[in-house]
Structure 1
Amino acid sequence: AAFRGRDLVLTPVLAHTTPRIGHLSPTVPYAELVERILAYVAFTPVNNVVGTPSISVPATGATEDGLPVGVMFSGRPGSERTLLDVAYTLEADRPFRRIQDV
């Protein structure tokens, strides 16, 4: 139903920037750790559960700390070609920053 009348849905990849070291440590009590993980990856599990394809690409800009920000395009079942076309088009227009460029 989320795709009715739409080819793609655009969301953040993650709900917040990289957490501090230890935030997702296996030493955190289990219930608290699961809560933290779900809050962090809030947007990606939907595609995993439903089985729809998605692709994450770097967004232009960065956080105040210089961390990269990504966006995620999700599509209908079988729309992998559309997702790859969008990613290739975005990269052709503004080449993605490479690790070697940092």
Structure 2
Amino acid sequence: MLPPELPPLPALTRAEGDLIDSYLAVVDLLGRINPARPGDTYSGLRAAQALVAKAATLRDALVRMHQRGESELHAETLTRALRVLDGERRAARVAVPIRHGGSPSA
């Protein structure tokens, strides 16, 4: 049985596509660095080192958009693209996990 087909990506400019790709790359790296998640320091270190380059790529995508006169982020369209690319799950790895039961700590 094949997995369900994903909805198509909305039409994006090249710069918007670069923005989405770069943003998700940064989110993925931040998820790997998140100290509230299990992991080892070496993988966190490697992700932090890669974050510098990916953040520059994200900045460059925004610079290109601005230089081309794309002065507005079309949030509805970009949100659809993020959802198609599993952005909600990927971004959830950056958040502090919700506490389940137990007493609150100081």
The higher radius of gyration belongs to 2
Same fold (TM over 0.5): no
Greater relative contact order (CA < 8 Å, ≥ 6 in sequence)? 2
**TM-score, with length taken from structure 1:** 0.31
